[in-house]
Amino acid sequence: MQYKRILLKLSGEALMGTQQYGIDTSVIMQYAEEIKALVERGIEVAIVIGGGNIYRGIQATATGIDRVQGDYMGMLATVINSMALQSGLEKVSVSTRLLTALEIKQVAEPFIKRRAVRHLEKGRVVIFGAGTGNPYFTTDTAAALRATEIEADVILKGTRVDGIYDSDPEKNPNAKKYTTLSYADAISQKLNVMDMTAFTLCQENNIPIIVFNMNKPGNLMKIVTGDAIGTLVSSRT
């Protein structure tokens, strides 16, 4: 295996499937099966999910909602998505633990680093909900922070495209795909696949990021077994 402990970052929008909003249970189950395959191979898996399919805090100001209040609403949306994925994983007999940055005792454990690492060591999938627990920080930054805390080998960012491009490939058919990028290039070119805070945190802690198409079956397993899938962002190009 190329990696022993991974942090998988999923967007909330990915959970919509072909719907306009909400959660597509068929997508949840597809992801659950792919994650189960990793666990059965001994990979320690942690997950951070966005909440954009339900609510995005940064858009709250356009509706007159206070930004801080909107960000907390977005954090709760990530908890809903995390609970949905946890349910899907448990349906395929994968042991999971949901840890949240906001204390919600009835549905999740509070995030404690040592507890999270211990769950991973026991073969449980750990899902981190509620972002960092602070407004003004994205779930990309939460993924970078949690990956640093649990000493993950890599961040795998699952998207609906097969890597990082110099422009939107869904709008520009001539968009150029990068196979590798340095953190510095990703930051200087303002590539929006992750926010600058997340890129900088990964750079400072030397955590590679792989951006790939999560919706193509088998891609997740191919990455952890060493195949060159998607775009690798690291200190070297």
Mean pLDDT of 103-120: 96
- Residue 58 banded pLDDT, cuts 50, 70, 90: low
pLDDT at 57: 60
At 95, is the pLDDT very low, low, confident or very high (cuts 50, 70, 90)?
Answer: very high
Scanning the structure block, which residue is given the tokens 């999938």?
125
Query: Interior CA angle at 179 toward 175 and 182, to 5°?
Result: 105
79, burial (CB in 10 Å: exposed 0-12, middle 13-18, buried 19+): buried
pLDDT of residue 31: 96
pLDDT, tens digit, for every residue of 168-215? 887 888 889 999 999 988 888 888 788 889 999 999 999 999 999 998
pTM for the model: 0.93
State mean pLDDT over 27-35.
96
Count of domains for the chain = 1
- The residue range of the domain holding 135 is 5-234
Signed CA dihedral, 14, 19, 23, 25: sign only: negative
At 191 the pLDDT is 82
Across residues 132-138, what is the average pLDDT?
95
User: What pLDDT was estimated at residue 60?
Assistant: 63
Give the CATH number for residue 80. Answer: 3.40.1160.10
Q: Which pLDDT band, with edges at 50, 70 and 90, does 18 fall under?
A: confident
121 pLDDT more than 70: yes
Mean pLDDT of the chain: 92
